[in-house]
Amino acid sequence: MYQKPKQSRSILTEQKFLDALDALLREKSFKQLTVDEIAERANLHRGAFLKRFGSKKRALLVLFDRYCKDASAYMLELNQILHQYSNAEEVCTEMSKQLEQLQSKHFASNRAMHEIFSEDLVVDIRTKKIFKELVELTKKIQCVFLSDAKVSDNGALSASQLLVTINYNYVLKAMTAFPRDTQSRHHLIGKLVTEALKT
């Protein structure tokens, strides 16, 4: 069973393995990747990897936790400064920018988690938790910027799904028709998400 390292040497070893895993997942699929390749990229031994994580999937979950922590921290921060935005579209546009940056930074673990989902058809609890936090944030955006008549669970769910799906697919290079210009792209996504909030 995985335990978070406490000693500086163990922390450094884990960091090397996770950095190697992240780099390799940018080059090939999770299924194709072997423990030996991760150890070799990290300049460490296979046995050390297995002692630390037990399996490559466990290592992936630790790597994915980095994304989850960053995403949670961003949503918490945004939740506290919502009053600084003038309308829903402005905040949705900013959320789209930040989400794309997070998904680009954590592209490898997100893509690998999607690969596992596609095979197992089971959503990981971490993914559920992050999505639930996003839905709660979009509900708050509804309450702050929309009239009571426009506030609905369906709107918050739709907006959250659009925000995640469009940005993830753009990062995957699967949204080639979307504007390449960052401002134009996120302005368009912000408009779409705002409309979804009203459904």
* pLDDT tens, residue by residue, 60-110: 999 999 999 999 999 999 999 999 999 999 999 999 999 999 999 999 999
User: Cα-atom radius of gyration of the chain, to the nearest Å?
Assistant: 19
- State in Å, rounded, how far the first CA of the chain is from the last one: 44
Superfamily of domain 1-54, CATH level 4: Homeodomain-like (1.10.10.60)
Domain locations in the chain as residue ranges: 1-54, 64-197
Residue with the larger pLDDT of the pair 193 and 4 = 193
* Per-residue confidence (pLDDT) for residue 148, from 0 to 100: 79
Q: Is residue 78 a contact partner of residue 137, using CB atoms and an 8 Å limit?
A: yes
Say whether pLDDT at 14 is over 80. yes
* Per-residue confidence (pLDDT) for residue 147, from 0 to 100: 86
* Per-residue confidence (pLDDT) for residue 2, from 0 to 100: 76
Q: Is residue 102 a contact partner of residue 74, using CB atoms and an 8 Å limit?
A: yes
* Per-residue confidence (pLDDT) for residue 156, from 0 to 100: 96
Of the candidate CATH numbers 3.20.170, 2.60.40, 3.30.70, 1.10.357, the domain formed by 64-197 belongs to 1.10.357
Q: Is residue 37 a contact partner of residue 46, using CB atoms and an 8 Å limit?
A: no
* Per-residue confidence (pLDDT) for residue 58, from 0 to 100: 96
